[in-house]
Structure 1
Amino acid sequence: MPIADELRSGGMLAWEPYCEIRAADTDQEKMRELYKVLNSGGDKVKSAFYSQLVKQEPCLFEALGSIAQTTEALIESLNKYKKWIQREYQYVTEYNSLPGEYVLLSERYTQPLITMKHREKKSKKKRCALWEGVSSSSLSPGITQTRTAPSWIADNKGISPRSVILQGNSGNGKSFTAQKIMLDYASGNIRREEFDCLFHLKCKELNLISGEQSLAELLSHNSNLASDQISQILQKSPEKVLILIDGFDELRFSYSDPSSMPKLSHVSEKGPLEASLKALLKGHILSESFLLVTTRSTATKTLGGLLKHPQRFTEIIGFSEKEVEEYFQRFFQNEDLSRKAFECVKANETLITACSIPVICWIICTVMRERFSDGADVTSGLETTTSIYVDFVSTLLEHHSQGLSQSVMILLRSLGQLAERGMLEKQVLFEEKSVCDTVSDPAGSPFLCKFLFKRRIRQETMFSFMHLSFQEFFTALYFISLAERDFLDKLTERFHSQTQSYLDLYLDEKCPLKYGCPEPHFLPVIQFLCGLSNKEVSSSLKETHNLSVPSFVQAQLEEWILHVSSNRVYNFLPFILHCLYEFHEKEFVQKAMEAWQELDMSWDQLSRTDCWALLYCLDCCPHFRNLKLNFAAAELKMLQPKIVGGLQIAVKSISADTAHILTDFLQSKGKWEEISLRTDDSESLCSSLRLFSFEGKLVLNVVRWCSSSQNEPSLSEIILKCPHSKASSINVKSFLQAFHSVNSTTEESADFDRQVDALLSQLPSVSGLSAINLSVPVLTEAWASRILFLILVLDWLFDAGSKGSDGAEWLPGLLMEEGIKCSKSSERCTHHTKQIEELSCNQRVTIEFCGEKCTEDVK
């Protein structure tokens, strides 16, 4: 009140607001009333208040000044942090870069396709972007793209996720995406109101940290901020902090008993690495912050149980064909060369499919660049994933072998030993001494990357393989160099790690892998072993590096695959398909797939590479009776070369593109019995699309399911029947679009009549059309008049009525007598006239016109 009194006596405070201040019961209420005066009084009143505050409350004034200085210091620290990120993240060291050789991230990064899904396998996916509505200004000349900022959009229940899991297979671009997010933040490409600060934790580096650490100290390892500065930032506005945790599957947790782990609750509280991380993941520390965690799909279940809620699951599934073309443009930086390379790859279905995996896309570009310069055939010998890696390794060795201090054979074996040790210990970073003890002159190896890792008081030289997939490849390469007993001992341990106490029960002496199950992180190694057993690949290894693949490798793996197939272990089915593709031996594929008379893979969306492996196996085995799949429209093209009997496909959406591809599919097939597409997506053109044979005719059946009684479709079903030979006359894409347009409007809409007419006007163009069935909620006069108009134009049987939402029972319809008219009075329908007059409303009427004859069926 002394301040208010001085303002009043100085003429700065009117009597009425002064009374309001005095009348307030508490100091807080008094301050609110005074603030109203200051807010509306202008600079003069504020200046007077400021002077009185210094005079009346010097301690408070000093405290406020200290807070202002602290805030200003934090802002300055954040600005320096952003500049540091720009310096550290704007460049990317390519996997085979020489020391000091870099490329700009903006000149190489191509955003992969990311889909949103639930953790459960059966849930549908939809395309989404982690990064939303932000344009990048540092892209290469001539290339314009839109990049995105972290998407924390609320779901249909208004809930925003606190944790986002970005899962994906090795090489799909998870770490590159994390790097791009950090660079976009530092460059100002994130909306300012969304996040004040981003931190990046690299799990492969966290494994090297020993001793107790607070969360603030962990975050300081990959930043230029001190731990006390980070603590201040985290406490000031935790709800505007995003923490990226990259490579969760690479973490090595040491606690076997989680209950003995200390519980941490503050950013500055020290504890073991695992305790600090789990407190962050579970939300015991920084519960209001946001998390984005990247991981391989194999670790998703474990991670989901550790993360705070609400959660969002996304999957990075690689490049589409369009993104592959963009990547080629960025890689070659030469329009003519990139176009030539892309056209070569596009003409080879194996390569364009392989390029959907970003790391393999880079490998193929690198190989093609070398082959262009040598004048060699740019795509020969690149058939399986393993063959691509073998060719790439051979290419690098050819161009670097002169500088090696040891023979190629010794180098490959030593790299394999290092890789295997890393796989066993789940280690991707290796200390310099450890590497030098295994690999002579590691800095000169074209397959290892060298970098500095920041310890507390020093920097340490570390090594890693150019990419995790190469660590897996070299592990497989090492295994084929072993004697049979050593090979079996090592793989038996990996196949029976979960059943060690029951090993005698689960072990077949002749085929020890048979009853086992490989560790999830070891699956890529097994796939590479299958690929190395391929005759052409093993022949290439023998020719170029004098490296033979023993027959027992293939024999043991084949025995395991036959056992899994005979027991129809569905969890392993996609992996088995890839292994069979890597073997690339038709007779064995047929033998392995004998048990799979029916394939149901609709529980999860297949990637482009999954589809390619599946297609190869189906081409080898024409005996399949039933196939259920779930993939996007673009992948449907890959099935066109297959002979189809019955094909049921569950798709995430039936779009115009799906319909167009289906039309091409129909026109390219001479023999098939049934094709059906179904979806639960309410935004689709339809819910179900079936094409099947009935009484020697082709039947097209389109259905829109009713999600509720409130939004019953205007036209729930339409069935067309025509000769098989006239299938090409049905424009499925246009027909579905018109069907969707009818159901997008109501009968009360002014646009409804036009949409219905547009749909029915397509029917006369269908050659040989012999029957139509329309299912509508109520058969009104408008529908009846349209039906009779079509009858005058066409000469076939016609059935019109209405069905229930389940499609099973006919409901009563209404056919107005005024609508039953023909062009000639002699052809006017008179049969059952008396019965028609006696009909009550909404009773079903079926009218059949066949040439000059007309029959009526009244029920």
Structure 2
Amino acid sequence: EKRGKMSLSHKQSVRSGSHVSSSVSVTSDRSKEGVPPGFSEKTPSDTESVRSDSHVSSSVSVTSDRSKEGVPPGFSEKTPSDTESLHYETLDSDFQINRNRKNFTDNLLGIFQDLEKKIITFLKNELDMFKKILQKEDMQYFVKDFNENRCSMKEAALDLTLYFLREMKQDEAADTLEDELFFIHQLKCSLKKKYQCVSEGIAKQGDSTLLKNIYTDLYITQGCSEQVNTEHEVRQIEVASRHHESQEIQVECKHLFEAPEQDKQIRTVLTKGVAGIGKSVSVQKFVLDWAEGKENQDISFIFPLPFREMNLKEKEKLSLMDLITQFFPETKGLNLTRRNQFKVLFILDGLDECRLPVNFRDNETWSDVSSPVSLDVLLTNLIKGNLLPSALIWITSRPAAASKIPPDCIDRLTEIRGFNDAQKEEYFRKRFTDENQAKEIIDHVKQSKSLFIMCHIPVFCWISATVLQNILEEKRNNVVKNNQADDASKTLQESNTEDTPKTLIQMYTHFLRFQIQQSRRKYDGEHTPDVSWDKDAIFSLGKLAFDQLERNNVIFYDTDLEACGIDVYKASVYSGMCTQIFKEETGITLGTMYCFVHLSIQEFIAALYAHLFLDINKKSIFVHASTKWKYKSKTIIDLLKTAVDKALESDNGHLDLFLRFLLGLSLQSNQRLLQGLLKQKNRNEKSKKEIVQYIKQKLESNLSPERSINLFYCLNELNDQTLVKDIQTHLSKGSLSSADLSPAQWSALVFVLLTSEEELEEFELQKFKKSDECLIRLSAVIKTCKRAL
């Protein structure tokens, strides 16, 4: 149906934004309803312009008697009928869209000019940051800023930068930038999270605290690679306590790889130290300082690889990159060999815990970082420099295991001596916010020479602090409970001195009691002062401790626990019962490891097991070890004599401390603390005299200074000091220059001189009888003094 007629004069343009050279005239016989905005009119017969911003030079006249269906937008007409209003609304909407579209088109140039400025400014800022990262200018800040404010725009800018750098054949710059913003930063974040907190003594049950709040610097010295010490660790601590710092070259941990000589390069560092001396904590501090951007920022990657976790990969074949990826998943896709600028450090922590052969002589040569091979071949070639020769290597180990590394593979040997005397006091002051309590504990530890020497070991400081703090709290609680407020200020030295530990065995016995009491309170709600002993659990732990001590193992796995009758699925029961004594660790790699908090605790539990075994089975634990002892198995004295003999047979003294604990636990005064666990031995005094005499007989034989000194510590645990007092009398009278001493007396003299409170600034041999024997017997003393005449 024809709804109207329209006449057009000249030409008509209907595209928004076009230059129209004709005018449009619309005549309507009705009032205008819904006329699109942007149109003007005078009267219904007047001529109307289509777009206010169009240039119109001719007119288009439209005459309509009805609403025009399909009329192009931009036209106006007379008032439509009611039935035509919907069509006008559509025209109105279409007209608005076209008008907006024309505005957008007209403004497009300005829009893109602003857009260009914003994009260029953004990219310029990002490129400036990327340049500073590549120039190593405050890199930690820029990398952190990029990752914390990371968004799709920043990632797109990085993608563009990497794309065009590689198009320009600047692959090295592209790789460096990608490594810094992805692999290196992610690794640093992961290591910071892992290493920023520490739990003293335990890994799982304790309250962790920030490392920076409790860290105390350790005394580290530089040594010679050929000086590998195989003596028992406690003996080494006792000797180390006599060394003079002025005679030694001190090394700061953060400067391990800085050579004193300018022309020397240090690739491999071996750091040795006894158990609990602070090797792993030093590693933790080194890694944390790097991850936080404080030290050693010239190193691109640090990969800490604990042997205790790598043991679980013993039977696998894997490449070096596989090993890294398994321990550090955030490095997946990293190619360590794609550029030479990488400075990589591998930290192989705890060589003494390694159960691999470490066969440097027979292992094949391997240099491919991407091909799988046995873990032992992988590690020996990494240390030798066949595999990734540019990498730095830091190995930590207990002294006895340090000899596994060939001397020609080591560029620098260092030794962690633990705390010197000033650092011991600093530790206790950091540990206790109460200055009076800290001073009281320091004073008590200083009263016992053997305890103060043992405080060279940070773990022993922790044990001592735990025990003495608990004793103080218990005594003060009892005082308050008994309404003796006036006596509440009594100190460790003033009240019940016989209950305060003064020897090694007393300290460890108190430690065991307190830990079990705490666990009972925590898990069972018991608050009685008496200890409820779980004999079966302690017996199982003791068997594990003793069996592994004989094998020189300090890290145990599921098979080791099962061999001792411990259900691995209930291992947490043991760690719960003996909180802070036995611990369970789950490594980054799949698998669980177990260990005692410190070697000395393992030795103590092993000695306790020997007494329990005798109580239950009426025979010695040494029966299974050799048929030589099968007829000496029924009494306590037989057990102690056998233990003395076996300790003296040891090349490295690995049973020395075990023997001290074993002898100390035989005393009735110490057994009182273990009441309910150990049976009270009859004729205890007679047994004590017999074993004391047996030890003195051994001292008359030609023993090494190390073995004889340990026997004197054993006599000390048995409260017998007759030989020592005899020598002290001779010293005070000055009669040793002419006296003929027995081997036991020579040994006593060495012991007295080494454990003297006075430092040996100058040692005069002329005070003693001039002989070759004198020189040989006193050689251990000569080594520890500044000057000998």
Q: TM-score normalized by structure 2?
A: 0.58
Structure holding more strand per residue: 1
- Whose Rg is larger? 2
Kept in 1, the 8 Å contact 2:622–2:629? The answer is: no
State how far apart, in whole Å, the 2-side matches of 1:577 and 1:239 are. Answer: 54
Aligned residue for 1:482? 613
Q: Which residue of 2 aligns with 1:189?
A: 294
Give 1:637's aligned residue: 758
**Contact 1:91–1:103 (Cα < 8 Å) also in 2:** yes
Q: 2:670 matched to 1:566?
A: no
Number of residues of Structure 1 aligned to a counterpart in Structure 2:
539
Q: 1:60 to 1:203 in 2, by over 3 A?
A: closer
The answer as to whether partners of 1:541 and 1:548 remain within 8 angstroms in 2 is no
Instruction: Name which of 389, 414, 428 aligns with 2:508.
Output: 389
CA distance in 2 between counterparts of 1:566 and 1:680 reads 24
Residue 627 of structure 1 contacts residue 646 of structure 1 at CA under 8 Å; is this kept in 2? Answer: no
Aligned to 2:457: 357
Partner of 1:175: 280
Q: CA deviation at 1:296?
A: 1.1
Q: Give yes or no for contact 2:256–2:269 (8 Å, CA) kept in 1.
A: no
CA contact (8 A) 1:129 1:151 kept: no
Question: Aligned letter for 2:189?
Answer: K
After TM superposition, the structure 1 = structure 2 runs for residues 844-855 of structure 1, keeping only pairs within 5 Å, are: none
3-state SS in 1 of match to 2:412: strand
**Equivalents in 2 of 1:588, 1:680: separation in Å?**
22
Q: Could you tell me how far apart the structure 2 residues matched to 1:512 and 1:473 are?
A: 14
Query: Are 2:383 and 1:252 equivalent residues in the alignment?
Result: no
Q: 3-state SS of the aligned residue for 1:159?
A: coil
Q: 1:546 to 1:109 in 2, by over 3 A?
A: same
1:64 aligned residue (145, 169, 177): 169
The superposition leaves residues 581-622 of structure 1 with CA deviations (integer Å, 9 ceiling, x where unpaired) of 4444235879999xxxxxxxxxxxxxxxxxxxxxxxx9x987
Q: Secondary structure at the match of 1:481?
A: helix
Counterparts of 1:667-686 in structure 2, within 5 Å, are none
* CA offsets 1:341-365 (integer angstroms, 9 cap, x no match): 3233334444333322211111011
User: 1:308 maps to what in 2?
Assistant: 409
Return closer, same or farther for 1:440/1:101 CA change in 2, 3 Å cut-off: closer
Q: Write the distance in 2 (CA, Å) between the matches of 1:555 and 1:276.
A: 54
Give me the whole-angstrom Cα distance separating, in 2, the residues matched to 1:421 and 1:430. Answer: 13
How far apart, in 2, do the equivalents of 1:171 and 1:557 lie?
31
Q: Classify the secondary structure of the residue corresponding to 2:650.
A: coil
Could you say which residue in structure 2 is the equivalent of 1:522? 654
Give the aligned partner of residue 317 of structure 1. 417
Q: 1:553, 1:304 → 2: CA distance? A: 46
Cα distance change of structure 1 residues 487 and 461 upon mapping to structure 2, 3 Å threshold: closer
- Greater RCO (Cα-Cα under 8 Å, separation 6 or more): 2
The CA deviation at 1:334 is 3.4
**Cα displacement string for residues 795-814 of structure 1 (whole angstroms, at most 9, x for unaligned residues):** xxxxxxxxxxxxxxxxxxxx
Cα offset, 1:366, TM superposition = 0.9
Residues 559 and 201 of structure 1, relative CA distance in 2, 3 Å threshold: farther
Which of 571, 578, 584 is 1:450 aligned to?
584
**2:675 aligned residue (535, 543, 546):** 543
Normalising to structure 1: TM-score of the pair? 0.54
In 2 relative to 1, CA 288–342 (structure 1 residues): closer, same or farther, beyond 3 Å? same
Give the aligned partner of residue 273 of structure 1: 375
1:203 counterpart = 2:329: no
Partner of 1:784: none
- In the alignment, the residues of structure 2 paired with residue 577 and residue 223 of structure 1 have an alpha-carbon distance, to the nearest angstrom, of 49
Counterpart for residue 775 of structure 1: none
* Alpha-carbon distance in 2 for matches of 1:261, 1:221: 23
Larger displacement relative to structure 2 (360-369 or 532-541): 532-541
- What residue in structure 2 maps to residue 102 of structure 1? 208
Amino acid at match of 2:602: Q
When structure 1 is superposed on structure 2, of 106-115 and 556-565 the one drifting more is 556-565
Tell me how far apart the structure 1 counterparts of residues 678 and 783 of structure 2 sit (CA, whole Å). 53
2:516 and 2:310 map into 1 onto residues whose CA distance is 32
Q: Give yes or no for the alignment of 1:261 onto 2:380.
A: no
Residue in structure 2 matched with residue 719 of structure 1 by the alignment: none
* Shift in alpha-carbon separation, 1:96–1:278, aligned structure 2, 3 A: closer
Say if 1:317 and 1:523 are closer, same or farther in 2 by CA, change over 3 A.
farther
1:200 partner amino acid: P
Distance in 1, Cα, partners of 2:764 & 2:250: 37
Match of 1:532 among 664, 669, 673: 664
Gaps of at least 5 residues in structure 2 are 1-162, 230-242, 477-490, 525-531, 631-638, 729-740, 770-777
Provide the rounded CA distance (Å) in 2 between the counterparts of 1:339 and 1:625. 33
Q: How much has 1:555 moved relative to structure 2?
A: 7.0
Match of 2:720 among 563, 585, 589: 585
Is 1:249–1:295's contact at 8 Å kept on the other side of the alignment? yes
Q: Which residue of 1 aligns with 2:400?
A: 298
RMSD over equivalenced CA pairs, Å? 4.8
- Call closer, same or farther: CA 1:264–1:644 in 2, change over 3 Å: closer
More deviation, 270-279/533-542? 533-542
SS in 2 for 1:236: coil
Cα deviation for residue 449 of structure 1 reads 2.3
Work out the CA distance in 2 between the residues paired with 1:414 and 1:330.
36
Q: Tell whether 2:190 aligns with 1:84.
A: yes
Q: Tell me: CA distance 1:155–1:491, structure 2 relative to 1, closer, same or farther (3 Å).
A: farther
Q: Tell me which residue corresponds to 2:557.
A: 430
Number of the residue aligned with 1:151: 256
* Residue deviations 1:71-129 (CA, integer Å, cap 9, x gap): 22211211111111111001112225774721111122212212222244599984445
Letter in 2 for 1:242: L
Structure 2 vs 1, CA of residues 295 and 61 (structure 1 numbering), >3 Å: closer, same or farther? closer
Aligned to 1:780: none
Corresponding residue of 1:500: none
Question: Share of identical aligned residues, percent?
Answer: 22
The CA distance in 1 between the partners of 2:325 and 2:613, in whole Å, is 44
Unpaired segments of 5 or more residues in structure 1? 1-57, 132-147, 497-507, 594-617, 649-673, 691-859
